[in-house]
Amino acid sequence: MLSAATEGVGGAGNELIGRLWSALLVNTLFFTGIAQAGIVFSAIYRTTRSRWSPGLERLGFSGIRFLPISLLLLAVLFLGHQHLYSWTHEPLPEAKRWWLSSTFFFARQFFYFGVMTLLSFGYYRLYLRPESEERWNKMGVFAPWLIFAYAVFYSLIAFDMLMSLEPEWYSNLFGAYFFISNLYAAMAFLAFVAALRYRRNGFTKEISVDSFHDIGKLIFGFCCVTADFLWSQYIVIYYGNLPEEVGYVLKRTATSHWGGMGIVVLLTAFVIPFIVLISREVKRHPRVLIYVVGLILVGIHLVDYLLVLPAVVPNASIRFPTVEWIFSAGFAFLYAGIVRRYLREAPGV
């Protein structure tokens, strides 16, 4: 009996440790993704020579100060990565062993995060220069390279930091899904902040009713694209019916532990936003749009938890996700503080 009790306590302790490190990984990737994708949104705005909302272009830089913090968080994850990645203590095929060695693995992540941080600050520095033809031309050259680097490096980050949680499973679409879903969440966040600013200032020249309509259409489009990536992956696995592929999906959709979260994710991140954002009036009313984009942010955040938790603590029964709430709330307050400081300092937002 004592042995059984000891094993039970040990199992509960291991589960809690796994949940702690999972929450840190999820929030690091989620908030870094929003910060980085917001800057990429501004780069896309500049590359396409858009004029529909300069205020939203400026808001895209609001999370830039979180990027150096993400490098510190990556260092913390390195300290506890053995609690997240099974390949640190399980045998691997020879073809994967060299790629999934701890030192090389985190050296790659620091390189990806570091390069994107430097590129982002370089682009922001150009953006802050006085308006001139030279500045415009340099930004026109810089922005496409920033977008390209984002697509490449964030695909690799997804393959490494998320897909390798279960190294026996792989998907060619996973990287593309990750960087597209970050853009989806980032645009929802920009609309959320713009709607909060509207409550204080009303419509302005920088962010008008048409700006909300346009960003609403973009969010609707990215809702469809992100869902399409997930569906494209699901249907291939469904028809292929291969054991090494089906298990990944069944674990997250058809088990008592995680099936309920899968339904919540589907509704909050895709189904409800799709139905509501069809309406033109919703997209043009910030007081309504703010709730829709807030729901999207919650949904995409839950998607990240659904990708990570079943891999790290597959048999956990998380009825009261206190650990996850505390981590998410802490990161949200930190990120909100960074954005608030930017809004105080940035002109014309």
Q: What is the pLDDT of residue 185?
A: 98
Helix or strand run (H / E) with residue 44: helix 2-47
Predicted confidence band at 311 (pLDDT cuts at 50, 70, 90)? Answer: very high
pLDDT digits (tens, 9 = 90+) for 147-190: 999 999 999 999 999 999 998 888 889 999 999 999 999 999 99
Q: What is the pLDDT of residue 223?
A: 97
In this prediction the pTM is: 0.92
Q: Residue 93 phi/psi, 5° resolution?
A: -60, 150
Q: How far apart are CA 87 and CA 166, in angstroms?
A: 8
The domain locations on the chain are: 20-345
Judged against a pLDDT cut of 60, whether residue 6 lies above it is answered with no
Q: What is the pLDDT of residue 317?
A: 62
Inter-residue contact 236 to 265 (CB < 8 Å): no
Q: What is the pLDDT of residue 349?
A: 58
Task: Quickly tell me which residue has 């960087």 as its tokens.
Answer: 179
> Residues 327-342: what's their mean pLDDT?
96
pLDDT digits (tens, 9 = 90+) for 123-149: 999 999 888 888 888 998 999 999 999
